[in-house]
Amino acid sequence: MEYTSLGRTGLQVSRLCLGTMNFGPYTSEEDSFAIMDRALEVGINFFDTANVYGRKLGEGVTEQIIGRWFAQGGGRREKVVLATKVYGKMGDWPNESRLSARHIKRACEASLRRLQTDWIDLYQMHHIDRNTPWEEIWQAMEQLVQEGKVIYVGSSNFAGWHIAQAQSTAAARHFMGLVSEQSLYNLTARTIELEVIPACQAYGLGLIPWSPLAGGLLAGALQKAQEGRRTEDWVQKRAEPLQNQLERYEQFCAGRGEHPAHVALAWLLHQPAVTAPIIGPRTLEQLDGSLRALEIKLSPEDLKALDEIWPGPGGQAPEAYAW
């Protein structure tokens, strides 16, 4: 396994991050335990979850599964760099969502109970809250850090100017602020190259891409549709407007003897701002397959060919659209 620093911190994380959103809704607890055990076995030490994962309002099903896995002992908690999130709706009563100081405090304590741990390594804001001032947010986060409940703070789904706003406010408070940003980023979705990635690089944030396979489109979607999988209608609907690009992409991968999903992950690993793409395996086989991405080396010519198939916005702003 390869490791790298999380942004400008000294924290070492694996180049692949284990996403756990499938644990509970699609992957049984027994299988989830097996996947997490296997992740540690192959050296993946970076796990990502969220308090809303599990599809049962307010229950934090996925966090509970991870907590019961930690409770088995064997150094599991100590080996894992644990990331979870706050913002999402955890109940029908007011103040059970978003980023008020009250909700941040209560949500963190609830996540700690479900996860059966004393601390969260990376506490991420799941979305920007435009109605809560940064002074309030940072005061709440600073308190959690002082209490030892949180070590680092990250963001998710922030715009570039949100990152700049957050960091300038944190600096005025002599607080470290954000160390990472978790964004939608894959070959089919490259908008963040305009301003989010430049902001991450300027402020020293690690980039953690979610949906690296574009919901399965980059995992051999055309082949799956032809094979008549149960997701055929869904795949065909998503793939239809991208038919030409997907054909070229899958031909590119076949010409190199690689699975499309592994090439998509490898492309992200070749992007200089990326810390670790999030893989969300439903099975052990999917987890093991993802490891191949670490071995794929894409040449400058390969990267150029992929840019031609999946063009980005043209670079960072403002040069991408002006001069």
* Catalytic annotation, residues: 53
Question: What is the distance between the alpha carbons of residues 317 and 195, in angstroms, rounded to a whole number?
Answer: 6
Q: Is residue 116 within 8 Å of residue 84, measured between CB atoms?
A: no
Question: What is the distance between the alpha carbons of residues 244 and 119, in angstroms, rounded to a whole number?
Answer: 48
Question: What is the distance between the alpha carbons of residues 40 and 119, in angstroms, rounded to a whole number?
Answer: 19
Q: Residue 121, SS3?
A: strand
Question: What is the distance between the alpha carbons of residues 152 and 121, in angstroms, rounded to a whole number?
Answer: 6
DSSP code string of 208-273: EEE-TTGGGTTTTHHHHHHTT-TTHHHHHHHHGGGHHHHHHHHHHHHHTT--HHHHHHHHHHTSTT
Sign of CA dihedral 95, 96, 101, 102: positive
Tokens representing residue 69 in the block = 């896995």
Tokens representing residue 3 in the block = 């490791």
